Amino acid sequence: MIAPATSRLSETEITAELARLKGWSRDGEAISKTYNFANYHQSIAFVNASAWVSHREDHHPDIVVGYNTCKVSYVTHSVGGISQNDFICAAKLDALFSL
């Protein structure tokens, strides 16, 4: 599924959307969350699964991987800030993490 065309969200909209997502926060011009895992294998499995979600949505995050952590950051470069697509993808990764 390809994410719909979008525009940059206002600060009020960003604050409201962040309130709906557990663990996500503003990180400069992006939103980000650090996921914790038991080991490196689980971290990499999550990265691979999130890559599949990102490919399906055609919206790709920045990912920083540690031994048992994975920090994901979303920003919509084409609108110069945070868009609804970022929150859609964030929610999908949260759903993936809860499996």
52-92 pLDDT, tens digit each: 999 999 999 999 999 999 999 999 999 999 999 999 999 99
Rg (CA), the chain: 13
Segment 40-62, tens digit of pLDDT: 999 999 999 999 999 999 999 99
Segment 5-33, tens digit of pLDDT: 479 999 999 999 999 999 999 999 999 99
Task: Return the domain boundaries, the chain.
Answer: 11-97
DSSP state of 51: H
* Type and span of the H or E element at 57: helix 40-57
> What is 11-97's CATH topology?
Gyrase A; domain 2 (3.30.1360)
DSSP state of 23: T
With CA atoms as reference, report the closest residue to 72 among 52, 42, 47, 96: 47
Token pair in block for residue 77: 């470069």
Q: What's the pLDDT score for residue 99?
A: 64
* Type and span of the H or E element at 34: strand 30-36
